[in-house]
Amino acid sequence: MGLFCFGITVNSYIFVRYVNFQPQAIMYREIEIDKENLTIMGVKFSSIEALEITANAIGSNMFEGFEPTKELLQLYVDWKFGTVSESSFLKALYANSK
């Protein structure tokens, strides 16, 4: 009785599997990852390393119920590269959490 989660990356997609043991139900959540063009959900990254680190973080946080959006990913990338200030980043995150 409970929920078990795990994730896997296959062909540039992250699949998260939720298994409810009573009754058993399986759901998958796809995240579009394009390693060739260095994008996640259409958001461009500067390197394969940055893309993979972010993809792993997204997958891990999805276990806790995080549902990524293109807008949130773009906000993160803009903050990471200094286009958006930390205070603006935090305000936007707070606004998106409501």
Which pLDDT value is given to residue 35? 93
Which pLDDT value is given to residue 57? 87
| Phi, psi torsion values for 23, nearest 5 degrees | -75, 170
Which pLDDT value is given to residue 23? 41
Asked whether residue 84 carries a pLDDT value surpassing 70, the answer given is yes
Question: Considering the entire predicted model, what is its pTM?
Answer: 0.66
In the chain, where the domains are located: 3-96
Which pLDDT value is given to residue 28? 57
Q: What is the pLDDT of residues 2-55, one digit of tens each?
A: 444 444 444 455 554 444 444 444 455 788 999 999 999 999 999 999 999 999
- In sequence order, the β-bridge partners of residue 16 are 7
60-67: long-range contacts, CB 8 A cutoff, minimum separation 24? 60/7, 62/7, 62/14, 62/16, 62/29, 62/31, 63/5, 63/6, 63/7, 63/16, 67/29
Q: What is the pLDDT of residues 57-69, one digit of tens each?
A: 888 888 777 888 8
